[in-house]
Structure 1
Amino acid sequence: MEHLDVAVIGGGQSGLAAAHALRRRGRTPVVLEASARAAGSWPHYYDSLTLFSPAGYSSLPGLPFGGDPQRYPHRDEVVAYLLRYADQLDAEIRTGRRVSAVRAEDGGFLLALEDGSHLAARAVVAATGGFGSPNRPALPGLDSFTGTLLHVTDYRSPEPFAGQRVVVVGAGNSAVQVAAELAARARARVSLASRAPVRWFKQRPLGGMDLHFWLKVTGLDTAPLGRFQRGPATMAVIDDGRYRAALAAGAPDRRPMFTSIEGSKMTWQDGTVEDVDAIVLATGYRPDLGYLAPLDALGVHRGPRHRDGISLTHPGLAYVGLEWQRSLSSASLRGVSRDARRIARRLAAHLAQP
């Protein structure tokens, strides 16, 4: 059986950043990516997605994003960038290798792959993000809904919803973007349903500088706030004014969460009952770490038990790319490399021990 130094599970932005940081520490990581290319979940996001951070803040170490640093790159630009990064990375990347289970063995780890093969590794970095584990909340009557029900994971474009009555559940960036797109491009009648009102951040406050400039100069982007975060957080919507104006115009309108569903009929809190054609759940994700279940390394909501990305249950296990792993930016292109350097330093020290 092949023995690896460090197995990095996931070949998206988190896995690539982890491999780069481990190479800088003299380790020999092997990246195991389930899909056919090392671009993570980015190829699967909806067609109109653009970054909230400018290109100048969205690079991994060793390769600038390129182009106008003030622009907001499109999904496909991010995919192309990650593929370029993978090509120039001084680490082995194996695509089409999905890890199904990780077990502790002989002071290290045994990885079972979906194709039936096995690998041994002295250390493991879990860098699979959350796209493979969409959060589907238990909403009243949702299981009885007879219309089209999908998570935003499966949403691509507004055309299939043309002229329909659509309810988007959520109050974050994806929920607002998708709801506004459906209302504008599909001419759908769209409501944004959420338990709390939408919170807003101006994309370019205080003199026109992008929000991420202020997060950086104030230190808020890197502050170790993750250990104080309990459970998933609802982030404010970053807006250049378009989405707030769309909600103010009622396209989409925003409503408190519905109270029940029976078949295609939805009942709102004011007692109104109407037929709904489709529901889109823009309700976030949970960590996609089911392969770690044999280690008993997971806690509440299938989240890992860790401190700043280092496992509290297994000293050779680390994480990169978790939401609020250490800071506000831990799960983003602009912040994942800082966490990768931190866990690489800790793993290198662990592996250097007799």
Structure 2
Amino acid sequence: MPQHHTADTEVVVIGGGQAGLAAGYHLRRAGLDFVILDADTAPGGAWQHTWDSLHLFSPAAYSSLPGRLMPPQPGETYPDAAHVVAYLTDYEQRYDLPVHRPVRVAGVHRDGARLRVETDSGTWRARAVISATGTWSRPFIPAIPCRHGFQGTQLHTVEYERPSDFAGRQVIVVGGGNSAAQIAADLAYDSDLTWVTLREPRYLADDIDGRALFDHATARRKALDEGRTDNGGVASLGDIVAVPPVRTARDTGLLKPQPLFTRLTATGVEWPDGTTADADAIIWCTGFRPALSHLAPLGLRGPRGHIPTAGTQALADPRLHLLGYGDWTGPASATLIGVGRPARDAALAIAELLH
């Protein structure tokens, strides 16, 4: 689309990763006219930017978007990120989804009965918008005293690629979730690893993978919808899925968590009792925040930066839906298998609103 061009459509989907594609599938089924705007230069969403050894928590058949089963990856129970990218690329082509890329959205504005989506490639005016930008572009690093005084390398999960980059070096991995455990397991063999967690790591039972997590999240949402007791969600089961590389490193004694330090020093970290550890690099596996800056012109932010929603629909503007940011926009909606149902609900709600 040429610069400064303006086009009208029924729905604009912002984000061409797994959530955006699931939305596109259901919008097509609902008979709506739509475009998908993706900031990346190629298909695959955040999966194309992950570290080399990342694998899914679930077998391929349990990691699928609506309408198209993910084929198994030969030799792998749990597919790797490259396999997911290939699947998403095929999915986009198979359903001939109207993805425009690279298009970076600057802001969404009210424009009478429509929402105006301003981008670096022109303007779209839509009767409804689905925001599906995820969290990968907003890495979070906590405010640790003296963090900027450390003279070594600091990077976030999003910047980690492979263990060979740290061979023979002293590395501190910070975080108690799945990314931290997988990256720590990656580094445990060829680097001098210190793994730091806020609390003792909680591993899920070895036989639990993404299938059980999705079932648990879905059961929780059903219970809450029916006014029954909250089962605590996925977090009640544990924080870390014991995928094979993590299990092996743990069982061979290579993953020994240390408590969180109090501050950084020029050469490493210091704990409350004054003991220190030197480090060449610190990898912050400390999570993400929703990428919602493009929605700032609408003035919808509520507590903790979230936009209040009923399901996926913004309470203050029913023309806006948020998809794939976590349980607050649908149970397990940040997962491949979990995003299909809230994507369907969003498409149906938009169809009802427009017609």
The two structures share one fold, judged by TM-score above 0.5: yes
2:59 equivalent among 51, 54, 60: 54
1:247-262 correspondence to structure 2 within 5 Å: 247=250, 249-262=252-265
Measured after TM superposition, the shift of residue 332 of structure 1 is 0.2
- String of CA shifts for 1:223-262, please: whole Å, max 9, x gaps: 46699899x9796111146535534655232111001112
Note if 1:13 corresponds to 2:18: yes
Contact 1:31-1:92 at 8 Å conserved across structures: yes
Distance 2:147 2:231 in 1: 29
Alignment match, 2:205: 202
Match of 1:306 among 296, 309, 321: 309
Letter in 2 for 1:157: R
Which has the higher mean CA deviation after the structures are superposed, 241-250 or 271-280? 241-250
1:177/1:218 Cα in 2 relative to 1: closer, same or farther (>3 Å)?
Answer: closer
Counterparts of 1:272 and 1:130 in 2: how far apart (Å)?
A: 35
Q: Which deviates the most, 247-256 or 212-221?
A: 212-221
Matched residues in 2 for 1:326 and 1:102: separation?
19
User: Any conservation in 1 of the 2:290–2:325 contact (CA below 8 Å)?
Assistant: yes
Q: Is contact 2:157–2:283 with CA below 8 Å preserved after alignment?
A: yes
* Superposed CA RMSD: 2.7
Q: What is the correspondence of 1:128-207 to structure 2 with a 5 Å cutoff? A: 128-184=133-189, 187-204=190-207
Are positions 1:99 and 2:105 aligned together? Answer: yes
The answer to whether the 8 Å contact 2:218/2:332 transfers is no
Task: Provide the C-alpha distance between the structure 1 equivalents of 2:317 and 2:302, rounded to a whole number of angstroms.
Answer: 14
Residue 219 of structure 2 aligns with which residue? 220
In structure 2, the residue matched to 1:45 is: 50
**C-alpha separation in 1, matches of 2:283 and 2:274:** 22
Residue in structure 2 matched with residue 325 of structure 1 by the alignment? 328
Does the 8 A contact of 1:189 with 1:252 survive in 2? no
Asked whether the equivalents of residues 11 and 38 of structure 1 are also in contact (C-alpha less than 8 Å), the reply is: yes
Structure 1 unmatched runs, 5+: none
Match of 1:345 among 340, 344, 348: 348
User: CA offsets, 1:110-151, max 9 Å, x none?
Assistant: 111124x22211110000100000111112221221110000
Partner of 1:238, secondary structure, is: coil
1:121 aligned to 2:126? Answer: yes
Residue identity opposite 1:85 in structure 2: Y
Point out where structure 2 has 5 or more consecutive residues left out of the alignment. Answer: 1-5
Q: Which amino acid aligns with 2:337?
A: R
Q: Which moved more, 1:58-67 or 1:312-321?
A: 58-67
* Structure 1 equivalent of residue 271 of structure 2: 268
**Paired amino acid for 2:82:** D
Q: Deviations over 1:200-235 (max 9, x none)?
A: 112425xxxx561585399537646699899x9796
Deviation of 1:108 after TM superposition, in Å, equals 1.6
Q: Which residue of 2 aligns with 1:31?
A: 36
- Number of equivalent positions: 344
Q: Which amino acid aligns with 1:251?
A: L
2-structure distance, mates of 1:233, 1:279: 26
Q: Which amino acid aligns with 2:130?
A: V
* Cα drift, residue 183 of structure 1: 1.4
Do 2:324 and 2:330's aligned partners in 1 also have CA atoms closer than 8 Å? no
- DSSP-derived class of the 1:150 partner: strand
Q: What amino acid sits opposite 1:38 in the alignment?
A: P
Shift of 1:335: 0.6
After superposition, the Cα gap between the structure-2 partners of 1:239 and 1:8, relative to the gap in structure 1 and judged at 3 Å, is: same
Hey, what's the Cα distance between the residues in 2 that align with 1:233 and 1:112?
38
User: Partner letter of residue 23 of structure 1?
Assistant: R
- Correspondent of 1:243 among 246, 253, 258: 246
CA–CA distance in 2 between the matches of 1:263 and 1:157?
Answer: 25
Post-superposition CA distance 1:55-100 (Å, at most 9, x none): 1111112211113698211100000000000001243111111111
Fraction of identical pairs, as percent: 36
Q: Distance in 1 between matches of 2:98 and 2:155?
A: 36
- Contact in 1 for aligned 2:309/2:329 (Cα 8 Å): no
Q: Give the conservation status (yes or no) of the 8 Å contact 1:49–1:74.
A: yes
More moved, 126-135 vs 322-331 = 322-331
| Paired position in structure 2 for 1:75 | 81
Q: How many Å separate the matches in 1 of 2:332 and 2:175?
A: 21
Q: 1:3 is matched with which residue: 8, 31, 39? A: 8
Superposition TM-score, scaled by structure 1 size: 0.89
- Tell me the secondary structure at the aligned position of residue 178 of structure 1: helix
Measured at CA, do residues 326 and 265 of structure 1 come closer, stay the same or move farther in structure 2, by a change above 3 Å? Answer: closer
Instruction: For 1:257 and 1:79, locate their aligned partners in 2 and report how far apart those are by CA, in whole Å.
Output: 35
